[in-house]
């Protein structure tokens, strides 16, 4: 088991996930997808997560939050790079706290830990996206002084359009 990371919250601790945690990570992903009304989009499997998170090339990292020794939430993140700042950043792909544990400071603890990790790793920033209808999360992020980037739009290419675009390169 990985090292326990103490927090300011009584009965709460964090730790980095290891390969044995893959079933729990997939469970959190499915719960998040259900909350976001996107459960039909989850195609991740334990084998795929095991390979991509803990294989020879690790594409992302996961921090698990426990409350009273029970898995309560997770954060999945990876490094990006700011060409303007000339330094890496951390991109938070997913943050989720189970409904029964919300309001205990676990989300704030996970984000605070990632901010601390970003500073320790000489990162210039911590970025993430939120669905525009998710008012509780938006208000939560604003309470932490996170800024909404009005000038930026997110674009994505996946599936057949991704393949079509790749075929343009020869």
pLDDT of residue 170: 76
pLDDT of residue 65: 98
Note down pLDDT in tens along the chain; length 170 residues. 578 998 888 899 999 999 999 999 999 999 999 999 999 999 999 999 999 999 999 999 999 999 999 999 999 999 999 999 999 999 999 999 999 999 999 999 999 999 999 999 999 999 999 999 999 999 999 999 999 999 999 999 999 999 999 999 97
- Which residues participate in catalysis according to the annotation? 141
Q: Domain limits at 18? A: 5-167
Determine how many CB atoms are found less than 10 A away from the CB of residue 104: 19
Tally of domains in the chain: 1
pLDDT of residue 162: 96
Question: Are 16 and 63 within 8 A, CB to CB?
Answer: yes
Q: Which long-range contacts (CB under 8 A, 24 or more apart) does 161-168 make?
A: none
pLDDT of residue 169: 95
Q: What CATH code is carried by the domain that includes residue 80?
A: 3.40.630.30
Q: What pTM was computed for the model?
A: 0.94
How far is the C-alpha of 18 from the C-alpha of 161, rounded, in Å? 34
Residue given tokens 């950043």 in the structure block: 89
């Amino acid at each position: 088991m990985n090292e326990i990371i103490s927090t300011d919250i009584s009965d709460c601790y964090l730790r980095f996930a290891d390969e044995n945690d893959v079933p729990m990570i997939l469970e959190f992903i499915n719960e998040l997808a259900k909350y976001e009304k996107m459960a039909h989009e989850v195609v991740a499997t334990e084998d795929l997560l095991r390979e991509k998170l803990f294989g020879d090339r690790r594409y992302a990292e996961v921090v698990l939050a426990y409350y009273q020794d029970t898995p309560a939430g997770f954060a999945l993140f990876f490094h990006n790079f700011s060409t303007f700042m000339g330094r890496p950043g951390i991109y938070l792909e997913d943050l989720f706290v189970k409904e029964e544990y919300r309001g205990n400071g676990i989300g704030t603890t996970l984000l605070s830990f990632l901010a601390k990790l970003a500073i320790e790793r000489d990162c210039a920033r911590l970025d993430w996206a939120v669905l525009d209808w998710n008012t509780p999360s938006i208000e939560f992020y604003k309470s932490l002084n996170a800024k909404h980037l009005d000038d930026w739009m997110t674009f994505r290419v996946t599936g057949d359009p991704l393949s079509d675009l790749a075929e343009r390169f020869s």
